[in-house]
Amino acid sequence: MERDRLADLRGTYQVRAHQVVAAPSAAFAGLDVLRCFGFDVAEPNPVRRRKIPGGTVKLVFALEGTFEGRALDPTALVIGLHDRAGTAGHAGRMRSVQVQLDPLTARRVLGVPLDELRNGAVELGELHGPTVRRLAERLAETPTWTECFALVADYLRARTAEVEEDRAIAHAVRELRRSNGMRPVGELAAESGWSPRHFRRVFAEQVGLPPKDYSSLLRFSAALTALTRDPLRDMSALAGDFGYYDQSHLIREFRRFAGAPPGRLLNMSYSSNTAPGGAT
């Protein structure tokens, strides 16, 4: 299935797509949740999976697992927007519930400037206090995914604040998504009525990345999706279709966001989604 293939390539789920239990959309009715899922897997040998940024903020409830032979207590993390490739390693059992949020939704849930989370992760408890640990412990004791998803949905409803969106930023985000990151940022800054410097600052605070980095990520994501659908596509044509200066520019952006040029990325990732030693 093409969607699973792309998810495995990206490392969207931290595990393989077929190991994931997806939450039904009805469980999060009224909430702007892009995706919620759970998994319970055991890896007999250490693996290191490629992580390609996808423009979302993630809430990770780690319920049970082992790391370097040590059992982990239930905990919760917030993973901010990334603008570079990475890897994630794991061995042993791992049980988790994860939520992926649009940046503007994440800002309403978390209540902090998202640029403070750029390319990083923090304990959710640092933002929301001891109730987070109690929720993680309760999730660890909950026997079914359906009940787990309901608990997470209740938590999000309780934490989502009525924050007034800056219309200029919401408009800019919509335009960048509509154009796959190809709408000139200078035009959007001018449309906001703000100075370019102020526009960049407010955008980064509310979205998590500066506007040029966010637009570059969207353009890369669109190119990656197109390439996944047609792995034999001519690279020069692909570069032209998505507004890159030339094929070299396209390859540089793939190295930045995926850690590898297009051909090597596809060849390595479809079979195992495991980055070789030293790759990031």
262: domain CATH number is: 1.10.10.60
Residues 135 and 206 occupy one common structural domain? no
Q: Decide: 102 and 32 in contact? Cβ < 8 Å.
A: yes
Residue 278 domain flag: no
For residues 120 and 210, membership in a common domain is answered with no
46: Cβ–Cβ under 8 A, 6 or more apart, which residues? 89, 90, 91
Q: What is the pLDDT of residue 1?
A: 58
Q: Is residue 174 part of a domain?
A: yes
- Is the backbone of residue 119 left (phi > 0), alpha (psi -120 to 50) or beta? left
- Domain-located, residue 279: no
Give the confidence band of 13 by pLDDT, cuts at 50, 70, 90. confident
The span from the CA of 31 to the CA of 157, in Å, is 7
Which of 121, 140, 159 is where one domain is finished? 159
If one counts the domains in the chain, the total is 2
Q: How confident is the model at residue 67 (pLDDT cuts 50, 70, 90)?
A: low
For residues 273 and 275, what is the distance between their CA atoms, to the nearest angstrom? Answer: 6
DSSP-H helix ranges across the chain: 2-10, 103-110, 124-128, 131-141, 145-159, 167-178, 185-192, 196-207, 211-229, 235-241, 247-258, 262-272
Same domain, 228 and 266: yes
User: Does residue 277 lie in a domain region?
Assistant: no
Same structural domain, 122 and 257: no
Q: How many CA atoms lie within 13 A of 122 on its CB side?
A: 16
Same domain? For 260 and 206 the reply is yes
Residue 113 belongs to a domain? yes
Does residue 257 sit within a domain? yes
**37, 124: one domain:** yes
CATH value at residue 71: 2.60.120.10
pTM: 0.89
**Does residue 34 sit within a domain?**
yes
H or E stretch including 115? Answer: none
44, pLDDT greater than 70: yes
Q: Would residue 154 count as lying in a domain?
A: yes
Tell me: do 24 and 153 sit in the same domain: yes
Q: Tokens 């190991």 label which residue?
A: 19
Could you give the 3-state DSSP secondary structure of residue 87? strand
* Same domain flag for 40 and 143: yes
Q: Where are the alpha helices (DSSP H) in 129-195?
A: 131-141, 145-159, 167-178, 185-192
| Residue 46 pLDDT class (50, 70, 90 cuts) | confident
d(CA 112, CA 128): 11
Same domain, 151 and 16: yes
What domain range is 193 assigned to?
167-272
Let me know whether 88 and 185 are in one domain. no
Q: How would residue 208 be classed by pLDDT, with cut points 50, 70 and 90?
A: very high
Domain boundary among 92, 127, 159: 159
Phi, psi of 122, rounded to the nearest 5 degrees: -135, 160
Which of 122, 138, 159 is a domain's end point?
159
Res. 279: pLDDT tops 80: no
My answer on whether 192 and 152 are in the same domain is no
Is residue 185 pLDDT above 90, yes or no? Answer: yes
Taking CA atoms, 100 is separated from 31, 68, 236, in Å, by: 12, 27, 33
Based on the fold, state whether residues 11 and 87 are members of the same structural domain: yes
